Structure 1
């Protein structure tokens, strides 16, 4: 399966179990930085940076 730029609420839920609240919080952060956001979706790179402090590639942390 090809990985897309944005994570869906279901993908976040699979990682955390509390998808929408996490997406809303991260989208608010991005909006404060001047980015446009999409309700119910989050940029995968931003999500990985905020959650893991780096990029997750194929299930492993890449620094």
Structure 2
């Protein structure tokens, strides 16, 4: 059975995924939730649907965003 944690991202998740601060993450979540509400979907304040977030941001879980480099990449000379 899916739990709410399996279906929604928290503000910390959004901050980490997008590399933005807390207020910007809340702003994005609010916008996405308003879009979903206009379409008649149930939303949770302070959370955002993983499916909707992933489709709107083209986020693929498990794929490292280009701005997040792995630790200690070798220097090119």
Q: Normalized against structure 2, the TM-score is what?
A: 0.65
Which digits, 9 at most, give the CA deviation of each residue in 1:4-27, with x for residues without a partner? 211001100112212100000000
Flag the structure with larger Rg.
Answer: 2
Gaps in structure 1 of 5+ consecutive residues? none
Q: Say how many residue pairs are matched.
A: 56
Is 1:39 matched with 2:41? Answer: no
Q: TM-score, normalised by structure 1?
A: 0.77
- Residue number among 14, 22, 44 corresponding to 2:28 in the alignment: 22
Runs of 4+ aligned residues of structure 1 deviating over 3 Å after TM superposition are none
2:9 alignment counterpart:
7
Give the structure with the higher percent strand. Answer: 1
Q: What 5-or-longer segments of structure 2 have no aligned partner? A: 65-77
